[in-house]
Amino acid sequence: MSRKPTVLLVTTMDTKHQESEFVMNRLKEVGVNVYTIDAGIMGESPIPVSVSREEVARLAGETLSKVQNMGHEGRALAAMIKGAIRKVEQLYQEGRFDGVFGLGGSMGTTLGTSVMRTLPVGVPKVMVTTMASRNTRGFVGTKDILMLHSVCDLAGLNRITAKVLHNGAMAMAGMVNHPAKARLNDKPLVLLSTLGTTEACMKRIRHQLYKDGMDPVVFHTVGSGGQAMEEMMAHEAPVAVVDLSLHEITDHFFGGDYDAGADRGKGALAAGIPTILAPGNADFLVTGPLEDAKKQFPGRTYHVHNAAITALNTTHEEMAFLGKHLAELCKGAKGPYRVLIPLGGFSAFDSEGGPLWNPEGRQVYVDHLTENLPASHVKRLNCHINDPEFAQEVLENLRELAATSS
């Protein structure tokens, strides 16, 4: 007989026992078992738990008394998170739960989402939190965490918190009772990157890859997108990568908002995965509202994408650096790769008549890239990145690389 679905509730029973018990009861009412991990630091749990705070501290290499006397709430929380993660990793390997539920304010959200981020995409993850109306990237990272805004503080049960917690519990119950298949198909996986400014190119490539029997997965290069793509290279065994949008590298080095970290662009090359690279969107930085952009980057050309996002031109010095940097990344390649350069423009903004048209800067990029790479790995194309012929070149070169690596 198969077991009932089980939800792992990661919580702090000293401060959130009422809310936690409410969620537990709602889940049990619909036939879902609950396994509780109490990572609270002060006080005691007024109800029984599956994993005590003492055990959590011990798994972190500490005693609860030592954690309680650290004199710094951040260090104490970090210790309990370490212990909770170790327990969750053990339980996951044993197949003991089907989803993870968390609730709380900034500390409880840090706890719950830290645990959730260690689990693969597809494992249901629900976080009811006061922090969901803010920038949630630090909590969500690269994982599929459902952040449900609690609206009011999670300070006991009332007509608001009861509704939100009930809805969160029912969302989790639905997910664990109807889990996603481990794999929807066995088609060869191809990873692609894009922003809206290279969307026309990506759509043509994606459409043809579908027709060719591939499974294309596209990442939006807003920082977390590039990070997720790099992680997926290590876990999902793609047969190829088409990195059309290198914009996150620009933002990483020059202070833009879409920073994916220092390793962006390394994963496919280091893993030997056949890779097509294009300097898509390398020609601009992204930051916040226009007034903030003017303060942070004075004297640039600005394009207001919307009230929250401003794009601005890169300087010639920045383009020179980026060309050299891509060449350096390619020198570490362990498999076949090719860099395709659309000489007519790197993005929709970098189009003739566009808001950030920059042929001189583009040429600086090309010069510093090509003087540092073997000619056999670079192909200059007299077209714009969003022209149909560029997409066709990507597909043809991808097939050629795939043939040489098979």
How would you classify the pairing of strands 6-11 and 33-38? parallel
Query: In b/e form, how buried is each residue of 201-216, taking b as 16+ CB within 10 angstroms?
Result: bbebbbebbeeeebbb
> Residue 18 corresponds to which tokens in the numbers above?
């009422």
Query: How far is Cα 383 from Cα 146, in angstroms, rounded to an integer?
Result: 41
- Of residues 243, 246, 244, 239, the one with CA closest to residue 215: 239
Which value, to the nearest 10 degrees, does the dihedral of the CA atoms of residues 32, 38, 80, 163 take? 60
How would you classify the pairing of strands 378-381 and 302-306? unpaired
Annotated domain spans of the chain: 6-177, 189-405
Same fold, 6-177 and 189-405: yes
* Superfamily of domain 189-405 in the CATH hierarchy: Uncharacterised protein family UPF0261, NC domain (3.40.50.12030)
Strands 284-287 and 302-306: unpaired
DSSP string of 115-178? HHTTSPTTS-EEEEETTTTS--HHHHTTS--EEEE-SS--SS--HHHHHHHHHHHHHHHHHHHS
Q: What CATH number does the domain located at 6-177 have?
A: 3.40.50.12020
pLDDT in tens, the chain (406 residues): 467 999 999 999 999 999 999 999 999 999 999 999 999 998 889 999 999 999 999 999 999 999 999 989 899 999 999 999 999 999 999 999 999 999 999 999 999 999 999 999 999 999 999 999 988 999 999 999 999 999 999 999 999 999 999 999 999 999 999 998 876 778 999 999 999 999 999 999 999 999 999 999 999 999 999 999 999 888 888 999 999 999 999 999 999 999 999 999 999 999 999 999 999 999 999 999 999 999 999 999 999 999 999 999 999 999 999 999 999 999 989 999 999 999 999 999 999 999 999 999 999 999 999 998 999 999 999 999 999 999 999 999 999 998 887 6
